[in-house]
Structure 1
Amino acid sequence: MTQSPETASAPAPLHWKLVVDCAEPQSQADFWAAALRYEVEDNGAFIERLLELGALPRAATVEFHARLAFRDLVGVRHPEDPYDEDSGTGLGRRVLFQRVPEEKTVKNRLHLDLHTPSGQREAEVARLGELGASVLREVAEPSGSWVVMADPEGNEFCVH
């Protein structure tokens, strides 16, 4: 017997994270944690266990914020969202920075839009500039206005 759409239970939504390819995951994580007011994930205890088990070579780690971190991956997470206490990995809103060998060469096909409280865009653009972002252009269209910025590695994002 098939269930009608009204009585069938919907599949659970998928968990996701945004992954950003970059040259320096740790500096990108620091920038975006400050920009979004997120927290850099602490995977130190998990990494220690992996090292003890021989499941991770020491060369795959770096010291970051006075603790061990993955050399090629660093995540930032919303401070109010849940996280896995064993691994330090966020289970909610999260951005992961992943080292890749190639440089960024073209405009992003996906970007973040940061939404500021009314009347605070100019101050937020200034704050982001102090963190290392740069203004690429200001946009004013009938549908609204915003500032297109780039993070320290040139990834575009918008401030509304």
Structure 2
Amino acid sequence: MTSRLEWTTIDSADPRSLAEFWCGVLGYVVYEDKKGEVVEIGPDPEASDEQRLGDLRDGPAVASLAFVRVPEAKGGTKNRIHFEITPIDSDQGAELDRLLALGASKVDVGQGEGRSWVVLADPEGNEFCLARSLAPGEFDL
């Protein structure tokens, strides 16, 4: 018996704005915007609930994200959980430039120099990492 990750919920001061940033990063679209209080995004807006449920039951699925409005800002400490983003059709440098143009910023969480990943933060300060590229010619088995 196993479970599947369906949603990741992220507290946010401005759910719509943060959802738009992550749509740009991941190529997702907004599923539902509940008056700016909760904004849900994911990879396939045309999938029916039945299709999504079938996909979840069949195997690992790409998780959707939900951004929920909260009154308080993110605390100053490093996140205890974060996303690892991997480019699939460009090299890491080109993806870094794209993410910075979308509104990400480089951050130092004590990772040190010479790492194969880059630590970034979204517009509300949530850290995530840009890992190596999986693009053809960039990563081969």
* TM-score computed with the length of structure 1 as normaliser: 0.64
Q: Size of the alignment, in residue pairs?
A: 117
Distance 1:23-1:84 versus aligned 2 partners, 3 A rule? same
Alignment of 1:122-141 (within 5 A): 122-137=93-108, 139-141=113-115
Separation in 1, partners of 2:113, 2:47: 36
**SS at structure 2 position matched to 1:129:** helix
1:148 aligned to 2:119? yes
Give the counterpart letter for 1:158 in structure 2: C
Of 13-22 and 120-129, the range deviating more from structure 2: 13-22
**SS at structure 2 position matched to 1:154:** coil
Partner deviation per Cα, 1:104-160 (whole Å, 9 max, x = no partner)? 11211110000124861111111011111111147534xxx1000000001000001
**SS at structure 1 position matched to 2:107:** strand
RMSD of the TM alignment (CA)?
Answer: 2.5
**SS at structure 2 position matched to 1:109:** coil
**SS at structure 1 position matched to 2:39:** strand
Q: Give 1:34's aligned residue.
A: 24
1:73 to partner: Cα distance: 0.4
Alignment of 1:3-152 (within 5 A): 11=1, 13-42=3-32, 69-79=34-44, 82-84=47-49, 93-105=63-75, 106-117=77-88, 120-137=91-108, 139-141=113-115, 145-152=116-123
* TM-score computed with the length of structure 2 as normaliser: 0.72
Structure 1 consecutive aligned stretches of length 4 or more whose deviation exceeds 4 Å = none
Is the Cα contact below 8 Å between 1:76 and 1:94 reproduced in 2? yes
Separation in 1, partners of 2:19, 2:114: 30
Separation in 2, partners of 1:132, 1:35: 10
Q: Give 2:128's aligned residue.
A: 157
1:15 to partner: Cα distance: 4.7
Structure (1 or 2) with the larger CA radius of gyration: 1
